Amino acid sequence: MKTKKVTKKIDIMHVAELSKLKLTSSEVKLFTLQLGKIIEHVADLNEVDTKDSKPTSQTTGLVNVKRKDEVKQSLSQEDAVSQKGHTHNGYFVVPMILENKEI
């Protein structure tokens, strides 16, 4: 995979699709402008020499935190589905993603 360098413009439509967001055309225009300015601002990181630096993903220094594998009380099924009117036999009803057109 080729690594792209710093860019000035984000392909908003493409990224919105990746993020499952529907945007209006005026949002696309506005975000292109606003996020372009932010991308330009954060480009100052290229001034920093990082070739000897390892990435930091957390600051606690903890590694592989474990607990005893014990069964504890958890949410009841009733509680777990309590937030959706749209359930069936204790399951969530989800939108259809595959359609059987021809039988």
Summarize as ranges the residues that interact with another protein (CB under 8 A): 1-7, 10, 12, 15-16, 18-23, 27, 31, 34-35, 37-38, 41-42, 44-48, 50, 53-60, 62, 65, 67, 75, 79-84, 92, 94-95
Quote the CA–CA distance of 40 and 59 in Å, as a whole number: 28
**Torsion, Cα of 92, 93, 98, 100 (10° steps):** 130
Query: Residue 97 or residue 103: which is nearer to another protein going by CB?
Result: 97
Nearest to 24 by CA among 36, 12, 33: 12
Residue showing tokens 């039988």: 103
Query: Residue 89 or residue 103: which is nearer to another protein going by CB?
Result: 89
- Closest separation between CB of residue 70 and another protein, Å? 10
Query: Residue 49 or residue 102: which is nearer to another protein going by CB?
Result: 49
Residue showing tokens 């005026």: 26
